[in-house]
Structure 1
Amino acid sequence: MLRLHKCIVAQLLPHASAISPLHRLLSAAATPARRISPNPSFVVDDYLVSACGLTRAQALKASPKLSHLKSPAKPDAVLAFLAGLGLSAADVATAVAKDPLLLRAKVEGTLAPVVDGLTGLGLSRSEVARIAVLVPGKFRCRSIVSAVHYYLNLFGSMDNLLRLLKRGFWLQGSDVERVVKPNVAFLQECGLHDCDIAKLCIRVPMILTINQQRLRAMVACAKALCVPHGSGMLRKALQAVGFCDEEKITAKVEYLKKTFRWSDTEVGIALPKNPMVLTYSKDRLQRVSEFLISEVGLEPGYIAHRPALLAYSLDGRLRPRYYVVKFLKENRLLHGDRDYYSAVAVTPKVFMEKFICPHKEAAPHLAEDYAAACRGEVPARFRFT
């Protein structure tokens, strides 16, 4: 055991002159007498600062949860274990500040089996270390292994799960059976495929935790937006209504009708095709409306049938491509039935291939002018009176 501590300390000490409180702790922890004998001078606040790297304010907040500790024996063992797992001194400070009770965990009875269980699922030790830092309170519970196993299958990858953990998402293992699985089963009944459910839950993790009555109300709201049961757009509709109550949705629909001059029929055409329009800010919608209707000259019905227009960046896509199309038409270089939407909807690569490259000889500065327009400039050649 002494040799193991020396190895750990050697790996954590790149420079002999720069010894952190955690390093001193690990060296001290190698002394058997220190580990088994109560220390009458042991002060939890001081230990949290000197050994764990917490600020004094963090230590004062955390110490009541560890008031029963009379010696550093158990926390020493936990810190040595975390260091061996690969946590840096900063990681340890973060984990302990989030969950001081981590220092009371049993290394052999809890932490080691948890690490074995998680690596048995295919996680690397660095991924296990990230979980320990992000959710230390759950890391000291052996039920975390079954929970991670379920969420890995649900979200499809460890990267997706880590993204959610960084955003504060987590559920107790018991909630998987009681809440999560019934909600997932209901979404499947609604016609969503597993990949759609994963994408939805990553975007709106609360959908896993809400009671099923509220979930059913969300689905009903999505269907009320003219999104049919089982439609591929149902996922996006649920994502759109996930943060809004019925009153807010009604108000946003009315704003869309007013801003884009849509009738009830036209708004009923637009929303099923792009329900995410409900999440766009009023300022963005107002600016796009003024550009598409007043400057480009599009009819409200044209926009309603192509609501994807509202998803594109005004300054990075809608406006620059409009300048190119207008330039080509003014110079009689645009042939066929290519309209504005056909220029906006294609990828940047395809746009260059179809609208820029074919005109290198007739308009040698077109690519340069388009690049300038994407930067927010309006080249002289794009100005027509």
Structure 2
Amino acid sequence: MQTVKSLRLQVLQKIYAKATEPILYMFSSLTKTPTQTPNTLLFNYLIETLNFPKTEAQSISARFSNVKSLENPHCVLHYLRSLGFSETEIRSSVRYTPQILFSDVDKTLKPKIEFFQEMGIVGSHLGKFISNNSGLVTNSLQNMLIPCTQILKKILVNDKSNQYLIRVLRRFSWLISMNPERRLLRNIAFLESCGIVGSQLSYLLKTKPRLFLTEESKLRDLVVRVSDMGFSFHSKQFVYGLCIVSSLSKETFDRKLELLRSFGFTNNEAMEMFRKQSMMFGKSEEQLKLQLDFFMNKIELNKEVLIRAPCCLTYSLAERVIPRYRVMQILKSKRLLLKKEPSVVSVLILSEEKFLEKFVATFRDDAEELLVAYRGHLLDSSSSEDKEKSG
């Protein structure tokens, strides 16, 4: 026999079910994925003319249900081919920005393409650039592309041929895809207020263009974090510190500090090294570990030397450090160093030309042996490649 309590519970459940039916129905209708109906005309064009897979052609054509003519896509395709775009580049451009097919060639597409050509992006580079950044051709030439580009050109000092500007845009084209007043100009003003001006601002743009469109609050947090690490706003090292800190998560940064501590450096010594040569933290943890092991265990370099000159940890172990070490070992074993043996740091900081002149060409009788020792890493790598090819 049911109790009053159980009957009451059943009644409440029925009332709840009735009340929620419309809500559940409405929710399910909102979450239901609509069936995409392709535009047959455009669907066939994408497959037959541009060799798109059927699934992609369906997805793209469904977005343009009102298209009744292919005259415009024909014109766009003809224009891009006349510029030397490959079929792969055209397909890539359409895949990421399908509305490019419906651009007015003479009024909108051509002026923007010519803008990039005048900048210096020409020949085969043009097709590659546009296919990777096709969204740019949908942006306003007068309100976005031109004003943003002019702002960037003012920052990139001594860039008469636009080589740095082009390099920046290849890495981060979004810099000219937004209203400049929204974020770009505000971030530039903030960085300049921190003393990052002239060549330092130029370096930051070339190295970390993404920072210029970072949310202002996040950019301020990064600057505060670098300042709290002991960098002075008036030091050139501040920009280098900002570049590295913006590239690493706090966890990764802390692991690299821990790696230095595992080799006997205190936290203060590790931070001092970072402030002097931030780029050492640009190395992977594995690379940094190999370098520390070589200097401190292989050649038993005193850690104070690395604290004074952490630049040693930024040089390539395989391309610079070990080859020069080999040469110096031969000179030392043959007692050819009549004067005081040079320090590791003084040997490493020399340019390649100066190093070869001072420690190879000077010793004519032993120059061939020294050169073989110095170029050994090249011989090793080439022999490995030969083995792989023969295999």
Identify the TM-score tier after normalising by the shorter chain. Answer: 0.7 to 0.9
Is 1:90 matched up with 2:88? yes
Is 1:316 matched up with 2:314? no
Q: 1:373 to 1:134 in 2, by over 3 A?
A: closer
Aligned to 1:80: 78
Which letter does structure 1 place at the counterpart of 2:202?
A
**Partners of 2:190 and 2:81 in 1: how far apart?**
43
Aligned to 1:280: 283
User: Equivalences for 1:165-204 in 2 at 5 Å?
Assistant: 165-167=169-171, 169-171=173-175, 173-204=177-208
**Partners of 2:175 and 2:362 in 1: how far apart?**
55
- Normalised by the length of structure 1, the TM-score is 0.77
Q: Quick one: which of 43, 54, 72 aligns to 2:41?
A: 43
Which letter does structure 2 place at the counterpart of 1:204?
K
Which letter does structure 2 place at the counterpart of 1:94?
S
Is 1:236 matched up with 2:240? yes
Q: 1:68 to 1:151 in 2, by over 3 A?
A: farther
Q: 1:202 to 1:372 in 2, by over 3 A?
A: same
Q: 1:86 to 1:324 in 2, by over 3 A?
A: closer
User: Equivalences for 1:1-385 in 2 at 5 Å?
Assistant: 43-115=41-113, 117-118=115-116, 122-123=119-120, 126=123, 131-143=129-141, 144-155=145-156, 156=159, 158-167=162-171, 169-171=173-175, 173-259=177-263, 261-334=264-337, 335-336=339-340, 338-361=342-365, 365-372=369-376, 375=379
Aligned identity (percent) is 24
Runs of 4+ residues deviating >6 angstroms: none
**Structure 1 contact 183–212 (Cα < 8 Å) conserved:** yes
- How far 1:376 sits from its partner (Å)? 5.1
Q: Which moved more, 1:108-117 or 1:238-247?
A: 108-117
Q: Which moved more, 1:179-188 or 1:168-177?
A: 168-177
What are the ranges of 5 or more consecutive residues in structure 1 without an aligned counterpart?
A: 1-40, 378-385
**Structure 1 contact 179–209 (Cα < 8 Å) conserved:** yes
Which letter does structure 2 place at the counterpart of 1:151?
L
- How far 1:147 sits from its partner (Å)? 3.0
- Normalised by the length of structure 2, the TM-score is 0.76
- How far 1:86 sits from its partner (Å)? 3.9
Q: 1:281 to 1:124 in 2, by over 3 A?
A: closer
**Structure 2 contact 86–127 (Cα < 8 Å) conserved:** no
- How far 1:189 sits from its partner (Å)? 2.4
SS at match of 1:242: helix
**Partners of 1:303 and 1:289 in 2: how far apart?**
9
- How far 1:234 sits from its partner (Å)? 1.7
Bigger radius of gyration: 2
**Partners of 1:145 and 1:65 in 2: how far apart?**
30
Q: 1:45 to 1:162 in 2, by over 3 A?
A: farther
**Structure 2 contact 241–278 (Cα < 8 Å) conserved:** yes
SS at match of 1:223: helix
**Partners of 2:155 and 2:48 in 1: how far apart?**
41
Q: 1:167 to 1:235 in 2, by over 3 A?
A: same
Q: 1:194 to 1:54 in 2, by over 3 A?
A: farther
The Cα RMSD (Å) is 2.8
Q: 1:66 to 1:376 in 2, by over 3 A?
A: same
**Structure 1 contact 321–344 (Cα < 8 Å) conserved:** yes
**Structure 1 contact 183–208 (Cα < 8 Å) conserved:** yes
**Partners of 2:334 and 2:175 in 1: how far apart?**
61
Size of the alignment, in residue pairs? 335
